[in-house]
Chains A and B, each alone.
Chain A
Amino acid sequence: MSSKASEFDLVISGVGGQGTILASDIIGRSAVLEGKGVRAAETHGMAQRGGSVVNHVRIGCELGSMIPLKGADCLLALEPVEALRYIEFLADDGVIIMNTESVYPVTVTTGKAPYPSVDSIVEKLKETHRVIAFNATEMAAEAGSRQAMNVVLVGAVSNFLPVKTETLLERVKEMVPPKTIDTNVKAFETGRSMVE
């Protein structure tokens, strides 16, 4: 259920340093190359030092970059807790694609706050939404580098985006460091195969 102002609304959440900006850039640039208007908003500065970050990407949109509450078609979470934290943006019939590999915040490592079990997070989300959850970090490691986790998830979300897979894959090749192209292409493809 995208709002009237946009064709497809995507929320990408994660932890500063995980590569949310690259993920949204691959998607945003691809959509522009296919002639669609794109509006995106990202987190910079303070929150980037390991804090919680969220990006909005609106494809086929001419207005503002902020997605209304319950307006997103898809929530792409690079970290389990960060899926739950931004769930309010997802439409009732929206889909969640999430990485099951946790990154503990300092509040957890220092014992100030508990971290809910990943299973309980997935169960909770499944009560209300379609959830596609898998360990993207491990899959990226198998493809050649844990850093390519964000690209695995871009591959998975490519099944839903109103953008051609080839366009996305071309952008991946263009935007990752040249030495890592093979790894990232593999990462993209394994991610893509996670959704039937």
Chain B
Amino acid sequence: MSTREYMLGNVAIARGIVEGGGKVISGYPGTPSSEIVDTLSAMKERDFYVEWSVNEKVAMEVAAGAAMTGVRSVVTMKHVGLNVAADPLMTLAYMGVKGGMIIIVADDPACHSSQNEQDTRKYSEFSLMPCLDPSTPQEAKDMIPYAFELSEKFEIPVIFRPTTRISHGKSEIELGTITDHKAEAKFEKDTSRWVMVPANAVIRHPHLLGIQEGIMEELENSPWNELTINENSKIGVIASGLASVYAKEAMEELGLEASFLKIGAYPVPEGLIKKMYEQCETVLVIEELEPIVEDRCKVIAKDIESPVKILGKTGGYVPRVSELNIDKCTKAMGEAFGIEVDVPEIAEPELELPPRPPALCAGCSHRATYHAMLKVFGKRAVFPSDIGCYTLGVQNGTVDTTLCMGGSITVASGIYDAGEKQPICCSIGDSTFFHTGINGLLNAVYNKSNITITILDNRITAMTGHQPNPGMGLTSTGEPTKEIDMELLCRGLGAEFVETVDPYDVKATEEVFKRAKDFEGPAVVITRQACVIHARRAGVRRVPFKVDTEKCIGCRMCVNLGCPAIEFDKETKKAHINAMCTGCGLCSATCKFDAIVEVQK
């Protein structure tokens, strides 16, 4: 059997967790990190525990608890999720762990599917936890077993930071052997260690600082940092993580003679950097997002009074926003070292291309909910929203804000507290409500916000790839579990108006929204209908609809719903329903001329 397999970066990372003997793996879905837990959950034979937690802070604490018992644990999330888990993170650095613990945080430079492009390496600096930054999917897999060992050696969690191009990159992966490291869980009482009262914390802080030197020494000599000195050249390039492969390719393209330092572990390898300074007069630092390596390089140069010139984001050679690529690296090298670079000329296409933004699927129940919401509350109402598929409702005019996971109810409260006179109706998904929406509702009830809270319950975490959540009655591995009663939960949080409705029933939904709008105090409307993609996979088939061209007067009411299955035929000036129709019936209910009817079988 071949030991080389073609796989997704996240699948390779999951393989690394198995090779390294991970025992407890928790996470909260977030693109580009989700497939790590998905892959582990789908494995038929498992000798580890894996869960989707309700949010990243919870996931972090579950993994920390496991590592306190001496077993190896992993927690996964995306960069913005680490903000949610930042509270336990900072104290966990003081406490440390017994079993190896890896905190996998996938960064998303260029915001392919994120609300900001923060750099997780900053959290590594902040928390004083070491960080590994892979440059290829292969390295990502190989780093995981190493990270467990590093974590155990210094009894501190290790941050592991892939980026979108690693997580969602594919390559052939050389598989390694699966470790026979099988620590049994055994919690040993040690209050000075596990109870971070001030008296203990003030001792653990110097301890944390104290182990930094050992960590640096260990990482300096690790295989993740590589220095190649070019004796014929006075220039050098330092590049970190993924940027190092772009930089290498750019150097090859240019035929650039330079010393090269690839950095894959933080804190940065000071010894290797100093060695490079001995050879070089000018050094260009290339890294994605924040100038973390660059700033350290400058401090080191200053400390040893090296005359070396350090270029990078300062001076504008390397951009601080978005992701890097070979072209940006080539350009930076050209400018920094005064080399003529052939920048390919890209002609603007003369034809005007229609934008193709992502949109709610044909038949998505969120469209139906938003349609009713807009009708009842009116265009001038304020619609705070949240993170998930339903954010795509921005095209329907019912998404006025999205700050962060769980931020819709709280932002709605703030808008109400400020004295806004327009009605306020916020929206949040089921998984997001379980994530951090619960606190928002509790707060809205406690502080008497007069707002409507719509929970768009499509029975799944759809945007990140259809992961289960507590409302589904299924765990990550598909085992049946207690299905959380959303209505009961909302009532438990103190909401007095709580009603559930099927958004495909357009009339009933409008009725519920009307009553919710009139209700004094926070009113909760749960619109429940399965995500169409998931429903289809589960075998649900509805009769599709078609336009009766005799009756259609071309008013465009249905077309404006933005369903990808409805087109407007410019020639006949009539609507037309294409093969994507899933038969939700929303357009039919919208048409005043009864021109949209079910296709007869």
Q: Which residue of A16, A40, A114 has the most chain B CB atoms within 10 A of its CB atom? A: A40
Are A38 and B352 interface neighbours, CB within 8 A? no
Are A109 and B344 interface neighbours, CB within 8 A? no
Q: Please, which residue of chain A has its CB at the minimum distance from the CB of B561? A: A110
The residue that A111 contacts in the complex, of B344, B356, B556, with Cβ under 8 A, is: B556
The residue that B559 contacts in the complex, of A5, A25, A64, A109, with Cβ under 8 A, is: A109
Number of A-B contacts (CB under 8 A): 169
Residues on the B chain within 8 Å of A85, using CB: 349, 353, 356
Residues on the A chain within 8 Å of B389, using CB: 49
Are B249 and A64 interface neighbours, CB within 8 A? yes
Judged by a CB distance under 8 angstroms, whether A160 is at the interface is no
Judged by a CB distance under 8 angstroms, whether A130 is at the interface is no
Are B165 and A48 interface neighbours, CB within 8 A? no
Are A47 and B112 interface neighbours, CB within 8 A? yes
Nearest CB of chain A from residue B172's CB, rounded to whole Å: 4
Task: Please report the C-alpha to C-alpha distance between residue A38 and residue B171 in the assembled complex, in whole angstroms.
Answer: 5
Give the residues from 534 to 570 in chain B that come closer than 8 angstroms, CB to CB, to chain A. 556, 559-560, 562, 564, 566-568
| Of A100-108, A151-159, A177-185, the one touching chain B | A100-108
Are A120 and B351 interface neighbours, CB within 8 A? yes
Contact with B along A57-92 (1 / 0, CB 8 A): 000000111101111000000000110110110000
Q: Which bracket fits the contact residues of B? A: 35 or more
Nearest CB of chain A from residue B242's CB, rounded to whole Å: 7
Are A44 and B249 interface neighbours, CB within 8 A? no
Instruction: Given A5-B249, A50-B361, A106-B564, answer yes or no on A44-B346 (Cβ-Cβ < 8 Å).
Output: no
Are B113 and A51 interface neighbours, CB within 8 A? no
Are A107 and B357 interface neighbours, CB within 8 A? yes
Are B253 and A4 interface neighbours, CB within 8 A? yes
Give the residues from 204 to 257 in chain B that come closer than 8 angstroms, CB to CB, to chain A. 242, 245-246, 248-249, 252-253
Residues of A in contact, count (CB < 8 Å): 56
Instruction: Given A16-B358, A37-B172, A120-B351, answer yes or no on A68-B325 (Cβ-Cβ < 8 Å).
Output: yes
Q: Please, which residue of chain B has its CB at the minimum distance from the CB of A120? A: B351
Task: Please report the C-alpha to C-alpha distance between residue A116 and residue B6 in the assembled complex, in whole angstroms.
Answer: 38
Give the residues from 404 to 427 in chain B that come closer than 8 angstroms, CB to CB, to chain A. none
Are B354 and A64 interface neighbours, CB within 8 A? no
Contact with A along B154-172 (1 / 0, CB 8 A): 0000000000010011111
Task: Please report the C-alpha to C-alpha distance between residue A52 and residue B354 in the assembled complex, in whole angstroms.
Answer: 11
Are A81 and B248 interface neighbours, CB within 8 A? no
Nearest CB of chain A from residue B165's CB, rounded to whole Å: 6
Instruction: Given A105-B357, A121-B351, answer yes or no on A41-B168 (Cβ-Cβ < 8 Å).
Output: yes
Contact with A along B331-366 (1 / 0, CB 8 A): 000000000000010100111111111111100000
Judged by a CB distance under 8 angstroms, whether A42 is at the interface is yes
Are B353 and A28 interface neighbours, CB within 8 A? no
Instruction: Given A41-B165, A47-B358, A81-B354, answer yes or no on A65-B170 (Cβ-Cβ < 8 Å).
Output: yes
Are A84 and B351 interface neighbours, CB within 8 A? yes
Judged by a CB distance under 8 angstroms, whether B273 is at the interface is no
Residues on the A chain within 8 Å of B344, using CB: 68-70
In order of increasing CB-CB distance, the 10 nearest A-B pairs are: A45-B31, A45-B113, A51-B358, A64-B245, A113-B354, A105-B356, A46-B113, A49-B358, A40-B170, A70-B344
Q: Which residues of B contact A (CB under 8 A)?
A: 4-6, 31-32, 112-113, 136, 165, 168-172, 242, 245-246, 248-249, 252-253, 325-327, 330, 344, 346, 349-361, 389, 392, 395, 463-465, 556, 559-560, 562, 564, 566-568, 579
* Chain A to chain B contacts (Cβ below 8 Å), 24 pairs: A3-B249, A3-B326, A4-B253, A38-B171, A44-B465, A46-B112, A46-B358, A48-B358, A49-B359, A51-B358, A63-B248, A64-B245, A64-B246, A66-B246, A68-B327, A70-B344, A107-B354, A109-B559, A110-B560, A110-B562, A111-B556, A115-B354, A120-B351, A124-B349
A49-B389, A108-B354 are known contacts; what are 12 more A-B pairs with Cβ within 8 Å?
A: A3-B249, A3-B253, A46-B112, A47-B112, A63-B246, A64-B165, A65-B165, A69-B327, A106-B395, A109-B559, A109-B564, A116-B351
